[in-house]
Chains A and B, each alone.
Chain A
Amino acid sequence: MSATPAECAPSLESQSFAFESLVAVSEQTTNVWSQLQRLLFLQDYNTRVVLFGAAMLGGAAGVVGVFTLLRKRALMGDAISHATLPGITISFLAASIWGFDEKSLPLLLVGATVTGLLGVSTILLLRGLTKLKEDTSLSIVLSVFFGAGIALLGIIQQMPKGHAAGLESFILGKTASMVVSDAQLIAAASITCLAGCSLLFKELKLLCFDENFAGSRGYPIVKLDLILMASVVVISIVGLQAVGLIMVVALLVTPAASSRFWTDDLTKMTLISAGIGMFSGVIGAAVSALYPRLPSGAMIVLFCATCFMISMTLGVKRGLLVRSLRRLKINRSIGRQHFLRTMYEVMEQKQQLGLEQSITINDLLPARSWSKNRLATIVSRSAREEWITRIHQEVRFTKKGRFEAERLTREHRLWELFLIHHADIAPTRVDREADHIEHVLEPEIVAELELLLIEDQRELPQSPHGFDHWKQTDDSKNGNQKPNGNQKPSAEPPVSRARTGK
């Protein structure tokens, strides 16, 4: 039979089973409080080392992650950490063939770095030279390199002395059993990356936001890109060894994505992201040290995810809450503007028809497609904000409301006229188009429209189309013959106070 037993394939991602040493420690100390005390005051040497390592890694990954996120390469870390596997196995094989110590960490790290960089270059080449897109290149490198690594592992497993056990523990990651030399390695790698990122901050910023501009200013884009990717490789490799494959992906992606909700400023974003990374690293490691059976890598990821959820809801720049409040505000203002204009137009119609001037809610209801409840809400809100006064069913403009309604009607009609004269849109169709645009017309544009469209600039132009809704329902109610909407209004057109006020 030519099959490889399943157990041959090591599980890269079950790294967190390696937390057992810590479980043993924690079970000795039954009192959680005393242990919390030990943790808080960092009495335990091992805990100190673990927390330090996790914090350094989280911070550095947070910083590097910001740049990869802005380059839209968030999953680069995923591809790279998978691409290191063949390097590790090849250096293991090479070492055992030439008689070196096959479990020596530097050797394996060198191998991992080499194939990691090879993976990055393959991604960049695939993207640059073929028509394949970024995501496809990433998953090609991820799966093919990892597949090669798995195939090589299948061979290592059969080597007479080469028990892959040591290799596995290297690949698996071991936050909880991190020793001083690991923490030192993490610290060295993190400080290198942090130093690189802060020295090249301006250059990387340009690279992230406007690659072509950076190129035109003479910055070496390809080299900068490679430096950035190399730091991702370094972080992935030390992280891979410390917290495991999936965890390092999370550390590279999640803090950066969270910080984006809080700010638009790259410096602040970098600091926030580093903070979230460090915080999650420390808290995750601490919680997993306190309680048995909480794998530290997974806990770090879960704290990152919690930070992400909080940021996504509460973030002051792009958070869901802020954005929905903003949208609510805009919707209300649009609703109010529609209401005021409709009321004004109804009033104008009544004037033209020589009817009594008072307007009731029932007059307004057929003028737009709104429900009774919605109209009632808008009316009461407008009354509260003192745009109108309301006496039972009758509504009246306040001074401020009339002023605003005139301004809105004027802008609406200006835009309608513009559409008819300059965009060749039929008069029957301009009303809806103008409905959308009237809320965002800037004063400069209004002034320009006035110059372009009307001679007497104090005049409120009359509506270029009839008020169908109003007219029809009115017809059916009263059976009166109504004049055409295009007919000259008898009433004197109100002056534009917006303009005279200037």
Chain B
Amino acid sequence: MTLDLNWNWMLDGWITAVAVVCAIACALLGNFLVLRRMSMLGDAITHAVLPGLAVAFLISDSRASLPMFIGAAIVGVLTAFFTEWIRRAGKVDEGASMGVVFTTLFAIGLVMIVQTIDQVDLDANCVLYGSIELTPLDTIDVAGWQIPRAFCTLFLVMLINLTFVIVFYKELKVTSFDPSLAGSIGFSPAIIHYALMVLVAITAVASFESVGSVLVVAMMVVPAATAYLLTHRLHIMICFSILAAIISAVAGHVSAIAIPASFGFRSTSTAGMMAVISGLLLFLAAMFAPRQGIAVKLWNQLALSWHILGDDIVALLYRVDEKQANQRTEKAWIREVLLCSPLSFTVVMTWLRIRGEIVIKTNELVLTDQGQHRAQNLVRSHRLWEQYLLDQVGIDPSRVHPQAEQMEHYTDKKMRQQLHQVTEKPSIDPHGSPIPEERSTK
């Protein structure tokens, strides 16, 4: 399959580069936002900076980026400050105080812009959505190279963030996980908090100027959340989040070009596609994270239930054999006794036959020698447990069976030996059935 990517290194290369540095700059700080439960702050700040931009514009009377940048950064920090103040002083829930602050600031900014609309040509589109696609056109001269301005700014911001995270790694870690401990050993949680807020504001402003506010929110939270799902250790989490950010940036731009092209359209928004790709990565992490993944957990449960069903089948065959009951051990009968679904029964039967624990003779299930081993030890565990529950726990003999039925699946040889000792080496269980001998080898 050939995809006509229509890739132009001078344009698409730079777009990808800008996207990558932006994503890394955001993701670095995002880790701490996620850990401190302040994920919505990126969203709040990117909306709230509007009045800062408007005031900076009115004062400087130009669209030069430095005054705009300073104005936006100041308001961004103010947003964090007001949010914290309202939360503390007014005892308002963090989300609500954030909501109050950023909507109000946004409204003020909107009124300012509308009031001065004649003189101002402030493009709200660019402010709020940015245009990563246009960044390669606005270049500055660095040592003889024409480098996009956005790339330089974002690269600088990325370096600042990286330095901050590396230098204050310990402080950030302590204040994020245990603010009171941090306070008691002499780091001020408040100073670190506000330093982080200042950097978040600066990063948000620098990023949305070129890539838009959606991307800022997506890149701050989603890669960090992906990494959070994958690991418990902070430094690994930071590395994973950077990786996820890079993948989202590159794959985002490629898919922004490639996917619409396959339907006959031109490219679509890179920022949007980056957010989508990071969302996909998060979905994969949520499903398949080594221990916590939803799919992984489901699979483990299923595997365990199959294992237990296998145990139940061999134990049932053993008991039929033991009682020499005149019962034909047909599949249908076993399924009826054990109340299992056809699917899991088929799976488990296949597995037992592959392991050579069961063979089918004239339509009946018969234990092999190996199956006999497994069944005998299981029944032994069951009956030892029953004896133990009666002897040591004092449970009524008529009620020990269900408990033993659960424990038998988790009992290994060593535990059986201990049970054997503790219950004074019984030969029959409370119901009078003989307790079989231990079979050591499989």
Interface residues of B in 288-314 (CB under 8 A from A): 292, 294
Q: Once the chains bind, are A148 and B286 in contact (CB under 8 Å)?
A: no
What are the residues of chain B within 8 A of A223 when measuring CB–CB? none
Tell me whether A78 and B99 are in contact in the complex, defined as CB-CB below 8 angstroms, given that A3-B134, A13-B124, A16-B110 are known contacts: yes
Among A149-157, A462-470, A494-502, the stretch in contact with B: A149-157
Q: Once the chains bind, are A9 and B95 in contact (CB under 8 Å)?
A: no
B157, CB-defined interface residue at 8 Å: no
Cα–Cα distance between A247 and B47 once the two chains are bound (Å)? 12
What are the residues of chain B within 8 A of A133 when measuring CB–CB? 34, 37, 39
Nearest CB in chain A to that of B215: its residue: A147
Cα–Cα distance between A182 and B422 once the two chains are bound (Å)? 79
Interface centre among B90, B106, B257 (most CB of A within 10 A): B90
What are the residues of chain A within 8 A of B97 when measuring CB–CB? 257
Chief secondary structure at chain A's binding surface: helix
Bitwise, A62-86 to B at CB < 8 A (1) or not (0) is 0000000100111101100000000
Cα–Cα distance between A19 and B111 once the two chains are bound (Å)? 12
A138, CB-defined interface residue at 8 Å: yes
Interface size classification for chain B = 35 or more
Cα–Cα distance between A130 and B226 once the two chains are bound (Å)? 11
Q: Once the chains bind, are B275 and A131 in contact (CB under 8 Å)?
A: no
Partner of B96, one of A74, A138, A151, A153: A74
Q: Once the chains bind, are A312 and B86 in contact (CB under 8 Å)?
A: yes
Q: Once the chains bind, are A250 and B99 in contact (CB under 8 Å)?
A: yes
Q: Once the chains bind, are B125 and A7 in contact (CB under 8 Å)?
A: yes
Cα–Cα distance between A16 and B92 once the two chains are bound (Å)? 29
Tell me whether A139 and B39 are in contact in the complex, defined as CB-CB below 8 angstroms, given that A3-B133, A254-B100, A257-B92 are known contacts: yes
What are the residues of chain B within 8 A of A147 when measuring CB–CB? 214-215, 218, 271-276, 279
What are the residues of chain A within 8 A of B130 when measuring CB–CB? 6
Q: Once the chains bind, are B99 and A74 in contact (CB under 8 Å)?
A: yes
Cα–Cα distance between A203 and B381 once the two chains are bound (Å)? 49
Q: Once the chains bind, are B90 and A312 in contact (CB under 8 Å)?
A: yes
Q: Once the chains bind, are B103 and A130 in contact (CB under 8 Å)?
A: no
Partner of B268, one of A4, A74, A75, A249: A4
A293, CB-defined interface residue at 8 Å: yes
Q: Once the chains bind, are B267 and A3 in contact (CB under 8 Å)?
A: yes
B128, CB-defined interface residue at 8 Å: yes
Least Cβ distance of B372 to chain A in Å? 41
Chief secondary structure at chain B's binding surface: helix
Partner of A6, one of B47, B103, B125, B228: B125
What are the residues of chain A within 8 A of B102 when measuring CB–CB? 246
What are the residues of chain B within 8 A of A320 when measuring CB–CB? 89-90
What are the residues of chain A within 8 A of B93 when measuring CB–CB? 69, 72, 74, 257
Cα–Cα distance between A143 and B40 once the two chains are bound (Å)? 10
Least Cβ distance of B214 to chain A in Å? 5
Interface residues of B in 89-136 (CB under 8 A from A): 89-100, 102-104, 106-108, 110-111, 114-115, 117, 123-126, 128-131, 133-134
| 14 pairs from A and B in contact (CB 8 Å cutoff) | A2-B6, A2-B12, A2-B266, A3-B134, A9-B131, A135-B37, A144-B222, A146-B275, A148-B272, A150-B272, A153-B269, A298-B107, A298-B114, A301-B104
20 more contacts with CB within 8 A, not counting A2-B6, A150-B275, A250-B103, are A2-B11, A7-B125, A9-B212, A13-B47, A14-B125, A74-B95, A74-B99, A130-B294, A135-B37, A136-B221, A140-B282, A142-B217, A143-B221, A151-B269, A154-B260, A260-B92, A293-B115, A294-B115, A301-B104, A308-B100
Residues of B bordering A, CB below 8 Å: 6-8, 11-12, 15, 34, 37-40, 42-43, 47, 86, 89-100, 102-104, 106-108, 110-111, 114-115, 117, 123-126, 128-131, 133-134, 212, 214-215, 217-218, 220-222, 225, 228-229, 256-257, 260, 263, 265-276, 278-279, 282, 286, 292, 294
